[in-house]
Amino acid sequence: MELQEHKFKVIGTRPIRHDGVDKVTGRAKYGADISLPGMLHAKVLRSPHAHARIKSIDVSAALALPGVKAVITGKDLPELPPGSQQMGELVVNPRYLSMNIMARDKVLYDGHAVAAVAATSPHIAEEALKLIKVEYEILPPVLDVRKAMQDDAPILLPELRTSGTPEKSDKPTNIASQVRFARGDLEAGFRAADVIVEREFTTSMVHQGYIEPHNAVAQYNADGHGTIWVSTQGPFSVRELCSHILQMPLGNIKVVPAEIGGGFGGKTTVYLEPLALLLAKKTGRPVKMVMSRAEVLRATGPTSGSYIRCKMGATKEGKITAAQVWMAYEAGAFPGSPVGAGCMTILAPYALENLQIDGFDVVLNKPKTCAYRAPGATNAAFAAETVIDELAEKLGIDPLEFRRRNGAKEGTAQPAGPQFRRIGYIETVEAIMNSEHYRSPLPHVPGKLVGRGVASGFWFNAGFQSTAIVSINSDGTANVVTGSPDIGGTRAACAMIAAEVLGLKAEEVNPVVTDTESIGHTDVTGGSRVTFATGYAVYEAAQDAVRQLKERAATIWKVKPEDVVYQDGVVSCVNNGHEPMTLKQLAGRLARAGGPVTGRAAVNPRGVGPGFATHVVDIAVDPETGKVDILRYTAAQDVGKAVHPSYVEGQIQGGVAQGIGWALNEEYYYDENGIMRNTGFLDYRIPTCLDLPMIETILVEVPNPGHPLGIRGVGEVPIVPPPAAIANALYRAIGVRMTELPMSPAKVAKAVLEKNKAPQ
């Protein structure tokens, strides 16, 4: 069955999400809401030092506290061989992962786990932590990405050698890897330019800031089987990572995904899960662990701070002739920053003949970074989109027109090589050009300096593996079972896709997210992949159910299956007088016509459609305090086909809000000893609803040719443009190019002051 866009009956509508009532009544069960009989509570002792050798750990006093049932340290975890391996879409180094969740001979960042205590109450576990004596030999920390790259920098991991270098070195280093993308003739490109702009940019570590702290409840049975209930983006990843870290057979671990209170990439790895399972094994009782907010900030993966140098040249006619980028990303204490993605996204919106991009993945004494919404791309776009803006300004060309002249389209080669298929970048630029927002004059705000800025962004989006089951109930309704935790409305999207194929209403399909034993392998809810890839599996599974339904009708009518047509939930026979049956009528007869119908599909789709976005923002700056107010914000995005437009808009609005926080407020603040000084939501300040206006969205629908319904991922790219768009607006407002994130009031006020002091 071919679904044509003009025929969509369910896709593109806005039904109430199926899990909604549970979530507005407080009934939905998140990980921390789960309790089991006899359950213990465990807490983690964390390093107060950024870099230190652990000389000894004495847990005897903690163990002696009444109510304490077990204490574990790094010695209780298996030693794993070095080396990385591919796990689904993740490249994981199990040894480093294990060292990250529990330190061995060294602590590598403030908050690094050192021991864990299980006790009969969380308060007793906390008291016990204070009784653990750890003797440290404090080592000098390294906190700046460029200093960490120097030859004389303190070394975090003695065995680390740089990968990706032309020549192999045996020198200890903090540079985990380097990567280069290059093509064309850089020097000739810059020679051909009439204008060249080169600037340096720095950005701070920022956290995903999900409201729900990490949690895990684990149970271990005498037969060697364990179960983990957890709020995670990837139950199958949790199973696989726990299997590696604890050296347990994968099939002996069952992971049950609880509802998840936000993740944005940060809940794609493990922190507590292996510890809870190990403590459950040691005590024979269920163990629950929940992080505090300070633990979330200190010890779970933020995204990289970075240093980026970006140089571009363009002709008078507004054609970019060359681009050169050098970028170093903070990986945190173990290798694995998203610098590769930064390299591959930074110039992707533009058609460039001559380019060179160098990227460096650098370890330093900060928490190991984890994915955060379009990982690596926002830092990169802040740099490139500011330089693009300045080039356009110097050439006297409208910044959107400049982007349109250079924008990537179908057939354009990406910096990493492959050509784009049909994409909608130029369409997003034009959508903003033609928007009421861009065409209206900047508002005047008394006493404030106002400015308007634009910026674009790119994100690959992901495919990866998904499994789905669509079963037909005897009343003609259907159930959709997947393994993709629903982090923002994907149950509804999956149900709508099945409903579209089956000719049902969205409300007649029950979407279910199940555990790792009840569905085939499904990769993480991440990479903007669920509606695309799990939705693809649901589409195929629903088609499989339709094929079976046609066969059953053929059996009942004693005709060939190919003579049966399934359309809008009705089966009919093409060439004789059988009365058509509704799905409800047919479903009621299945028991006597071959039994239940269950469609299934497992996919690893290749036709991922990348996401592009272009944003415009109006700001007002208080010249006295440097505070920036967002007056108006409009985001245009190529969303392929919006399955549930409200949740697509919601992804864009949420991504923009995070991007605004990144631009103006958010940063990991470390003192000179490497101790994080803003470990709560009061000081790590994410935007509140008083900080933001309504966020206008323009959904540009350029169908993805790689998906039967035209679907592209939508979740990540909206975070990419905001910092650059706001920096460009700030330039219009105060006349200074801001090159450091966050553009906090103090920095903006200083820039205004210096600008006013400078000779005109």
Partner 1 sequence: MANKVYVETTLNGETVEFLCEPRQSLLEVLRDVLGFTGAKEGCLTGDCGACSVIIDGRVVCSCLVLGVEAQGKTIETVEGMARDGQLHPLQQKFLEHAALQCGICTPGFLVAAKALLDRNPNPTEHEVRYALAGNLCRCTGYDKIVRAVLDAAAVMRGGTHGVTGA
For partner 1, give the closer residue by CB, 264 or 731.
Answer: 264
For partner 1, give the closer residue by CB, 29 or 394.
Answer: 29
Give the separation between CA 314 and CA 308, rounded to whole angstroms: 20
Among 290, 429, 494, 533, binds partner 1 (CB under 8 A): 290
Among 81, 222, 558, 689, binds partner 1 (CB under 8 A): 689
- In angstroms, the Cα distances linking 554 to 209, 474, 563, 564, 596 are 54, 18, 8, 6, 15
Give the separation between CA 240 and CA 368, rounded to whole angstroms: 19
Angle at 666 between CA 345 and CA 678, to 5 degrees: 135
Asked if 639 touches partner 1 (CB under 8 A), the answer is no
Which span sits near partner 1 by CB under 8 A: 238-246, 276-284, 463-471, 680-688? 680-688
Window 495-534: contact mask with partner 1 (x via CB under 8 A): ----------------------------------------
Q: 3-state class of 317 per DSSP?
A: coil
Question: Least distance to partner 1 from the beta carbon of 7, Å?
Answer: 22
Among 32, 102, 103, 537, binds partner 1 (CB under 8 A): 32
Q: What is the dihedral of CA 274, 278, 284, 289, to 10 degrees?
A: -50
Contacts of 648 (CB under 8 A, 6+ apart): 639, 642, 697, 699, 714
Sign of the four-CA dihedral 491, 469, 702, 716: positive
Nearest to 408 by CA among 396, 395, 421, 398: 421
Give the separation between CA 313 and CA 322, rounded to whole angstroms: 5
Question: Least distance to partner 1 from the beta carbon of 1, Å?
Answer: 27
Amino acid identity, residue 382? Answer: F
Among 29, 55, 180, 394, binds partner 1 (CB under 8 A): 29
| Binding residues for partner 1 restricted to 210-239, rule: CB under 8 A | 210-213
Asked if 657 touches partner 1 (CB under 8 A), the answer is yes
Question: Least distance to partner 1 from the beta carbon of 624, Å?
Answer: 22
Largest CA distance in the chain: 92
Give the separation between CA 310 and CA 326, rounded to whole angstroms: 7
Whether 336 contacts 366, CB under 8 Å = no
For partner 1, give the closer residue by CB, 644 or 712.
Answer: 644
Size of the site for partner 1 (CB under 8 A): 60
Asked if 14 touches partner 1 (CB under 8 A), the answer is yes
| Binding residues for partner 1 restricted to 407-466, rule: CB under 8 A | none
Question: Least distance to partner 1 from the beta carbon of 28, Å?
Answer: 6
Which span sits near partner 1 by CB under 8 A: 262-270, 585-593, 596-604, 704-712? 262-270
Asked if 19 touches partner 1 (CB under 8 A), the answer is yes
For partner 1, give the closer residue by CB, 420 or 662.
Answer: 662
Q: 3-state class of 36 per DSSP?
A: coil
End-to-end CA distance of the chain: 69
| Helices and strands (H and E) in the chain: how many | 20, 28
Among 5, 7, 27, 705, binds partner 1 (CB under 8 A): 27
Question: Least distance to partner 1 from the beta carbon of 657, Å?
Answer: 4
Asked if 28 touches partner 1 (CB under 8 A), the answer is yes
Catalytic residue (one of 240, 716, 740, 754): 716
Nearest to 386 by CA among 204, 200, 205, 206: 200
β-pairing verdict for 695-700 and 628-638? parallel
Question: Is 716 an annotated catalytic residue?
Answer: yes
Asked if 302 touches partner 1 (CB under 8 A), the answer is no
For partner 1, give the closer residue by CB, 215 or 386.
Answer: 215
Whether 335 contacts 176, CB under 8 Å = yes
Asked if 17 touches partner 1 (CB under 8 A), the answer is yes
Which span sits near partner 1 by CB under 8 A: 91-99, 285-293, 578-586, 740-748? 285-293
Window 95-124: contact mask with partner 1 (x via CB under 8 A): ----------------------------x-
Question: Least distance to partner 1 from the beta carbon of 534, Å?
Answer: 17
Asked if 208 touches partner 1 (CB under 8 A), the answer is yes
Question: Least distance to partner 1 from the beta carbon of 266, Å?
Answer: 10
Question: Which strands form 581-582's sheet, in the order they lie side by side?
Answer: 564-567, 570-573, 581-582
Question: Least distance to partner 1 from the beta carbon of 685, Å?
Answer: 9
Asked if 342 touches partner 1 (CB under 8 A), the answer is no
Among 9, 254, 293, 521, binds partner 1 (CB under 8 A): 293
Whether 289 contacts 52, CB under 8 Å = no
For partner 1, give the closer residue by CB, 242 or 272.
Answer: 272
For partner 1, give the closer residue by CB, 655 or 710.
Answer: 655
Q: 3-state class of 69 per DSSP?
A: strand
Contacts of 601 (CB under 8 A, 6+ apart): 467, 468, 536, 537, 538, 539, 540, 541, 543, 544
Which span sits near partner 1 by CB under 8 A: 455-463, 529-537, 647-655, 741-749? 647-655
Question: Least distance to partner 1 from the beta carbon of 217, Å?
Answer: 13
For partner 1, give the closer residue by CB, 263 or 286.
Answer: 263
Asked if 686 touches partner 1 (CB under 8 A), the answer is yes
10 Å CB burial of residue 422 (0-12, 13-18, 19+) is middle
Asked if 662 touches partner 1 (CB under 8 A), the answer is no
Asked if 544 touches partner 1 (CB under 8 A), the answer is no
Give the separation between CA 453 and CA 388, rounded to whole angstroms: 12
Tokens 């590598």 sit at which residue?
108
Question: Least distance to partner 1 from the beta carbon of 20, Å?
Answer: 4
Nearest to 657 by CA among 682, 635, 627, 683: 635
Structure tokens at 232: 């995670």
Asked if 656 touches partner 1 (CB under 8 A), the answer is yes
Contacts of 529 (CB under 8 A, 6+ apart): 461, 462, 463, 464, 466, 523, 608, 713
Question: Which strands form 598-603's sheet, in the order they lie side by side?
Answer: 509-513, 478-482, 466-472, 598-603
For partner 1, give the closer residue by CB, 212 or 393.
Answer: 212
Q: According to DSSP H, which parts of 615-676 are helical?
A: 645-664
Asked if 677 touches partner 1 (CB under 8 A), the answer is no
For partner 1, give the closer residue by CB, 145 or 512.
Answer: 512
Among 442, 565, 570, 692, binds partner 1 (CB under 8 A): 692
Whether 555 contacts 538, CB under 8 Å = no
Asked if 560 touches partner 1 (CB under 8 A), the answer is no
Instruction: Give the residue numbers marked as catalytic.
Output: 716
Binding site for partner 1 (CB under 8 A): 14-17, 19-21, 23-30, 32-33, 35, 123, 208-213, 259-264, 290, 292-293, 487-489, 644, 646-647, 649-651, 653-658, 680-682, 686-690, 692, 694-695
